[in-house]
Chains A and B, each alone.
Chain A
Amino acid sequence: MTEDVQTEIQEELAAADAVRPEKFEYPIRIRGLVNQFGDTVIHDHLDLDVRSGEILGVVGGSGTGKSVLMRSIIGLQTPTAGEIEVYGKTLDTITDPEESRDLRRRWGVMFQGGALFSTLSVAENIQVPLREYYPRLDQRLLDEIAAYKVAMVGLPPDAGPKYPAELSGGMVKRAGLARALALDPALLFLDEPTAGLDPIGAAKFDELIRGLADTMGLTVFLITHDLDTLYATCDRVAVLAEKKVIAVGTIPELLATEHPWIQDYFNGPRGRAAANCKQATARQDGKN
């Protein structure tokens, strides 16, 4: 074993020690977040805590800034004011690029449209983060990792060598999830994972997310419009309205609040349908 390799390994280990997800009870802490575009205020002193190991669903009407919130957390959007801590680090105060890399390798992000790199095959897409952060991994292990990630997200065996243009919408989302999971992150961001999927595909995707989160012990920040997804996957739900998080809690807790938007949302025709469906499944599970 050459010395170079040993030094590289030492650097890798030091980087791994820089951010220690297991030490944090709240992976994400947001205090007094303000986001403003021109005169339009999107978030006005928004507070939110995400607990370790939970799937937190974020809901809100169109234009309430769900995606902006996610982009602020992952550093794609610099907030006007306020503080966002992810694993104890504040992205906009980090000046050392290495430090932000340490943080970035602890999370995976799945964008709404999949955001796969169109010139790379699915397997190569999955290998991009691995190659970036672990350049020493040999090709065989990289290929094996890509293969089992493809299997884990429920893509068919021949999906690996395919290019994004050859995939259906549901497959693009699964491939996007596989890439988000490439580094075995502790924290996963999902932007509308089931939008644009048919109900069967969406239900399978919900199951997949729940299963992966349980298996890998993930903390998931999940933006959704889909009530079924909320009922099927989320431990807690944060409601975005009036430029703030107006309530966070389990669905029964939210139902107990008086806020008109929450009532409309969960007790509207679609909300009740999703709730009934959930109860029916629960009864069936009980019988079996």
Chain B
Amino acid sequence: MVARADFEHSDGAHGADVRFTGRLTLARLGDLPARLEELGPIASLDLSAIERIDTVGAWIVTRTVGEHGAKVTGASAEAKRLLDALADDKSAYRVHRDRRPMMIRMFEQVGTASIAIWHELLGIVGFFGAMILALGTQLRARRRLRWHAIVTRFQSVGVDALPIIGLMTFLIGIVIAQQGAVQLRQFGLEVFTINLVGRASIRELGLLMTAIMVAGRSGSAFAAQIGTMKLTEEIDAMRTIGVSPMEAIVLPRVAAATILMPLLGFYASICSIIGGGVFCWIGLDIPPLTYIQMLRDIIPMTDFWAMLIKAPVFGILIGVTGCYEGMQVRQNAEEVGQRTTSAVVAAIFLVIVLDAFFAVFFSSIGWN
């Protein structure tokens, strides 16, 4: 066992005379700093008996010298070199951020967050405008839309999403039918389960669930892809070659989302209705044929139109939010993650807010 850092002391006129022994290193420091502090005023530090010293040991010595004005004696060449390296004033070096009082920080955070949300909204609106302008220039210059780029997105945004959207809405159809049936049974009106499933699916749930899923799958993918392209300077390279990133990157993605949302939304509604139908058949003994006939009477055409009007708007919203957030990536990989998250959160939030507006609008024009 090697000697730990230790010291002997004798009290002199101006304070204790301390003589260090053993190894004055981090690994063998033990409780030396605490014991040294208990000593009170220190007049001198003798390093002649130490075996080794490292920067932590040297720092303890430097610190004691600074605090007590102690003299250092018997330092070896090695110790002197370390002490010299640590000698200059370190008081300017900060370790922690300045922390303001809790109350102020709270208000500050709320304020910063509010302003950030406002800027985000402005940014998305501005980006949407820039995209429309880009579309305008593209059409005016009689350049063809990049159909190839749009169609390749169909695969990832649309076809690949079919199984998950189908399964999800099918299960939601079952859940709505089952919960509705339990409540309606109390009044003996189980047959109205069909109304519930049919109208809710076509008018709201099918599309809303699709929008949430597309925002999670494709909105995030847009943000991450474009964010990474920004980091690797692909977007800049594109600009220098003379290709507009708006035309080549953003428009095809937004177009794909816009075209596919009505299709996916309709598909989702049908899956949800099938789910409800399966429950009605098994749980309520309503045969499929009756179910379908009832649906024809119950669901007004306006529900269907409402869905078809909302769907492309949601598609644009998801596409624009995803691309906008991706384009905002500036410096590091961490930001790609943050931006992807906010793309999804913002898209889902905006879709639901807009859906509420649509609901009010459609009922006031009499599409009940």
Show the binding face of A for B, using Cβ within 8 Å. 1, 5, 9, 12-17, 20, 22, 105, 118, 121, 123, 134, 136, 138, 141, 143-152, 157-158, 160-161, 165, 181, 183-184, 214-217
Contacts and interface: CB of A to CB of B under 8 A. Distances in A.
A161 B98 CA distance: 9
Nearest to B96: A161
B30 A184 contact: no
A152 B83 CA distance: 12
19 contacts: A5-B31, A9-B30, A12-B27, A12-B30, A13-B27, A121-B97, A138-B34, A145-B59, A148-B86, A149-B55, A150-B93, A151-B90, A152-B86, A183-B26, A184-B25, A214-B81, A215-B81, A215-B82, A216-B82
B90 A216 contact: no
Contacts of B94: 147, 157-158, 160-161
A252 B1 CA distance: 43
Interface of B: 1-2, 4, 25-31, 33-34, 52, 54-56, 59, 63, 78, 81-82, 85-86, 88, 90, 92-97, 331-332, 334
A184 to B, nearest CB: 4
A20 B26 CA distance: 13
A138 B29 CA distance: 12
Contacts of B334: 118, 165
Contacts of A215: 81-82, 85
Contacts of B54: 184, 216
A215 B83 CA distance: 10
B2 A17 contact: yes
Contacts of A13: 1-2, 4, 27-28, 30
Contacts of A149: 55
B93 A157 contact: yes
Given A158-B94, A165-B332, A216 B55 contact: yes
Contacts of A184: 25-26, 54-56
Contacts of B29: 134
Contacts of B55: 148-149, 152, 181, 184, 216
A239 B142 CA distance: 61
Which applies to chain A's interface (DSSP): helix, strand, loop or mixed?
Answer: helix
A13 to B, nearest CB: 5
B12 to A, nearest CB: 25
Contacts, number: 91
Contact of A141 (B30, B33, B93, B331): B33
Nearest to B38: A1
Nearest to B23: A16
Nearest to A126: B95
Which of A16, A121, A136, A141 is the most central at the interface, judged by chain B CB atoms within 10 Å of its CB?
A16
B27 A160 contact: no
A160 B91 CA distance: 12
Contacts of A147: 90, 93-95
Nearest to A9: B30
Contacts of A145: 56, 59
A126 B86 CA distance: 17
A123 B95 contact: yes
Nearest to A136: B31
A269 to B, nearest CB: 29
Nearest to B1: A17
Given A118-B334, A145-B56, A157 B1 contact: no
Q: Which 7 pairs across A and B sit closest by C-beta, in order of nearness? A: A16-B27, A147-B93, A184-B54, A157-B92, A123-B95, A9-B30, A161-B97
A274 B322 CA distance: 50
Given A13-B28, A15-B27, A20-B2, A165 B56 contact: no
Contacts of A183: 26
A144 B90 contact: yes
B85 A152 contact: yes
Contacts of B30: 9, 12-13
Contacts of A118: 332, 334
Contacts of B82: 215-216
Given A15-B27, A148-B59, A217 B78 contact: yes
A217 B59 CA distance: 16
A144 B55 CA distance: 11
Given A138-B34, A152-B55, A215-B85, 16 more contacts: A9-B4, A12-B27, A12-B30, A13-B1, A13-B2, A123-B95, A144-B90, A147-B94, A148-B55, A151-B90, A152-B86, A160-B94, A184-B25, A184-B56, A216-B55, A216-B82
A13 B81 CA distance: 26
A209 to B, nearest CB: 14
A217 to B, nearest CB: 7
Contact of B93 (A16, A17, A121, A148): A148
Contacts of B92: 157
